Structure 1
Amino acid sequence: MTSAPDVPAAPALRTGKNEARRVILSSYLGSTIEFYDFLLYASASALVFPHVFFTNLDPLAGTIASYGTFAAGYLARPLGGAVFGHFGDRLGRKKMLILSMLIMGIASTLIGLIPSANTIGSWGAVILILLRVCQGIAVGGEWGGAALMALEHADKGKRGFAASFTNAGAPTGAALGTFILGLFASMPEDQFLSWGWRVPFLLSALLLVVGLFVRSRVSESPIFKAAVEKEAADRTYAKPKLPIMQVLRRPRALIFTMLGGASGFALQVFLATFAVSYAVEHGADRQSVLYVFAAASILSVAFVVGMGRLSDRLGRRPVMVAGLVLFIAMIFPMFSWLSTGNVWLIFAVFMLGLLFHAAIYGPLAAFISEQFGTTARYTGASLGYQFATLLGAGFTPGILSSIYASSGRDTGPVVWYLAGMALVSAVFILLTRESKDYDLETHEH
């Protein structure tokens, strides 16, 4: 494993309470903005892009093609994790956070300016994919830095709680993006597809300014600074290998965290894409579904933070496995409620789904980050998390849509696919050692 070896602990590194709160707030707000951009794309890929960039295909084929561009962002995330992780482990967490936010904000704003297929043909889809790749690279670097800034400023025993605010930014960003897209979805169909959907993406420019201001006002991780200072002061201290080599030298942690976290992301995108489309297909009003998903996402922020705090007491593994077991148990009833067209039952599905998701997602930032040593933690945590998103989320919308279409619109195969992913993740979480009591104040991997 990659837990700290049995060496004398480094002196405790303390961060003032005010600074720790400022860092947590920065991680939360920054993650909210980044995931607003990234997950806004998820809703748009289900409701907008098939009608704007894939007009030469039939509706179901256009949706699958749109989900393919959605997957491109997830394919790029591990690359972003590796590149930003390397420089984050060498130059510092803070610098990489600012750069990743800049790339994300610019790419998202430009998506709102892409001409439709009616104007430039297939080039619209090509540009969309390129900008989606830029989004993926940016968010691949964002998460690791934000999680580590919160984690490494926190006291032992509060790391799950502190790091969970980074993940709480994802449902907040999803809610914000879905709510704003929902506002414009109330427009007449032709106006919405012509220009209304673009406004939420163009708002990314304003959010970028806010995010850069917040990020610039926090201090670097004290654990990272101590590692750098020790390396500079101690001539006998062996210079660490490249961060990526430290991670790959002991790949067990990377593989186990990747597979352990994958189903949490499958559940996340299932709710944001397939569940939304399925409810609308069965008679629910599109705008109402978007609104109840946004409302459930806002409420789930408390779930994510609460589950992170619970993992500080009970451990990361018990909380995460409980969420997966409950999801498997409830997935059949959730589908039956989605098909009723009843907005309150659909809201109940989103609430339950996001509660189970929070049990996995709340402890996940600490669970993954604690498996790696200081000099490779940004790289290891980023790669573990981003490969988990690639496996769990990148292809899930397209796979679910394909399974659903090939089975004659039968939900059974979709249910078994999701349940199977949840079971695999539960097994690998149980195979990973509990990490809540690990000592992070070490340079060793």
Structure 2
Amino acid sequence: MSNEPVTGVVTSGSASYETPAKQRRRIVLSSYLGNTVEWYDFYIYGIAAALYFPSIFFASSSPLVGTIASFGTFASGFLARPIGGIIGGHFGDRYGRKSVLVVSMTLMGMSTFAVGALPGEARIGVAAPVILVLLRLVQGFAAGAEWGGGILMIVESCRQERRGFWGGIGSAGVFCGGVLATLTFTGISSLPDGMDEYIWRIPFLASAVLVLIGMWIRLGIVESSAFRESQDAGEEHVRTPFLDLLRNYKRQAFVAIALSAGANIAYQIYITYATAYTRAVEGDVATILGAQTLVGVLALGLTPFFGYLSDLVGRKTVTIAGFAFTVPWVYLLFGQLENGSFATILGLLLLCEVGHSAVYGPLSSFLAELFHTRTRYTGVSLGYQIGGALAGMVPLVAATLVAAGGPEAGAHWVPTVTLVASIVGIIAVLLVRETNKASLTGEVE
């Protein structure tokens, strides 16, 4: 094993095992639905935290304090994601991707259903928010183990010249989950007042159906071709992939964290926190939710498109352009959330999503190409989930900024978080060579 790699490019080993086309389709569908389920569950919590949880689980607090506390529970799930990424990555790198993915989907489904059945503070007192935090931690742990494995199942089983495209298809499941979550809450938000105690539970309880469908498909897939090749070639699987990562892939780990944080922070600003900000300035919540739904539909196509574009022109070019494009539109969006028309808000959200998708589309293949098979699950998961944990703190930080300086100050300082994250992301991209022609077998240069 070499000392710390500096390029992040995986060079060719033996010829890759060919995964049959039927299995590839099932792997893509499994990963897509897995991401859909995991992130539907994750995002319905985010929306409920903005709209319902302050009055249900923090009723004894003032509305502002209740909102901050609610986003605190939201952030706790993101903090659990790196732990899920490390543990899921450990077992995924040593024993295979598939079994970890089955466990992660089971945990997410059970914890989400339990949130939907949890009584509020008015019924069981302080136990309600405590249990809510614990269930959120389980959600975060499951999501931390899921994303990296699901993406690697696709990227490690497809041809090199289409890794960006197929990885983008898998990543688009995140937005499918978001669309389903937003559609659901758009519908229930139009129901008569006085039903807040009950209607928010419907999306959580209904998630059980998605879990059963996703599990049925997932149980029928085979292990990824790159992992099978590594096993059959007799390559040594390190006892502790996390320590191997720290010894040999420090630069790649930083790049993975910075890229993931940049992509996810922008999304948390203009999707998750924008909903709460709209309510804080007494804007039309139905308008922002409706616009976000249409944006999610657009992202379903943009994500694989930019993944495909990165196959042609390179991951670095597309990613840097995406970071640079997103920032100005986030600033303009927050200036319009109080009184802007639906068309204006929708247009700005669409422009934000174009930039975000240019970063997110190539992300899965970009991260996978930074690491060797023996530590790839750990590296991809740790990078993505630490970036996600940083992003998960953003709504809490944003709510605190608005509480301290008022909505006008928030309209300026909240988008500045996106600017900083994008600058760090661009610097990270410049630290590695282009990876879109790399093989996923063999050693890392």
Match in the other structure for 1:132: 136
Alignment pair present for 1:188 and 2:207: no
The residue that corresponds to 2:441 in the other structure is 441
Q: Distance in 1 between matches of 2:433 and 2:392?
A: 27
The residue correspondences of 1:41-440 to structure 2 (distance < 5 A) are 41-191=45-195, 193-231=196-234, 238=236, 240-250=238-248, 251-391=250-390, 393-409=391-407, 410=409, 411-440=411-440
Q: Secondary structure at 1:217's aligned position in 2?
A: coil
- How far apart, in 2, do the equivalents of 1:349 and 1:3 lie? 35
For 2:109 and 2:416, how far apart are their aligned partners in 1?
A: 37
**Separation in structure 1 between the aligned mates of residue 432 and residue 64 of structure 2, nearest angstrom:** 40
Once the two structures are overlaid, the 10-residue window that deviates more, 12-21 or 377-386, is 12-21
SS in 1 for 2:161: coil
- The CA distance in 1 between the partners of 2:24 and 2:261, in whole Å, is 29
- Partners of 2:171 and 2:13 lie apart in 1 by 29
TM-score (norm 2): 0.94
Whether the 8 Å contact between 1:280 and 1:289 is mirrored in structure 2 is: no
Number of corresponding residues: 437
Write the distance in 1 (CA, Å) between the matches of 2:433 and 2:42.
32
Shift of residue 89 of structure 1? 1.0
Give me the whole-angstrom Cα distance separating, in 1, the residues matched to 2:267 and 2:9. Answer: 32
How many angstroms apart in 1 are the aligned matches of 2:441 and 2:417? 40
Query: For residues 4 and 368 of structure 1, what CA distance do their matches in structure 2 show?
Result: 11
- The CA RMSD over aligned residues, in Å, is 1.7
* Structure 1 unaligned spans of 5+: 232-236
Deviations along 1:270-297, one digit per CA (max 9) or x if unpaired, are: 1222212223444543233222211211
Is the CA contact 1:161–1:305 (under 8 Å) kept in the aligned structure 2? yes
| Maintained 8 Å contact 1:260/1:427 | no
The Cα shift of 1:407 comes to 1.6
Q: Percent identity?
A: 36
Kindly state the Cα deviation for residue 338 of structure 1 after the two structures are TM-superposed. 2.2
Q: Displacement, 1:29?
A: 1.2
1:408 aligned partner, one-letter code:
G
Stretch moving more, 417-426 or 373-382: 417-426
1:114, distance to aligned residue in structure 2 (A): 0.8
Measure the CA separation in 2 of the matches of 1:169 and 1:5: 27
3-state SS, counterpart of residue 244 of structure 1: helix
Deviation at 1:210, TM superposition (A): 0.6
The CA distance in 1 between the partners of 2:45 and 2:140, in whole Å, is: 11
1:42-93 CA deviation, whole Å, 9 max, x = no partner?
1111101111111111111111111100011111001001111111111111
CA distance in 2, matches of 1:91, 1:143: 17
The letter of the residue matching 2:422 is A
Moved segments of 4+, more than 6 Å: none
TM-score by length of 1: 0.94
Q: What SS is found at the alignment partner of 1:371?
A: coil
| One-letter identity of the residue aligned with 2:413 | P
AA at the equivalent of 2:423: L
Q: Report which stretch shifted further, 101-110 or 322-331.
A: 322-331
Comparing 398-407 and 102-111, the one that deviates more: 398-407
How far the C-alpha of 1:187 sits from its partner, in A, is 1.5
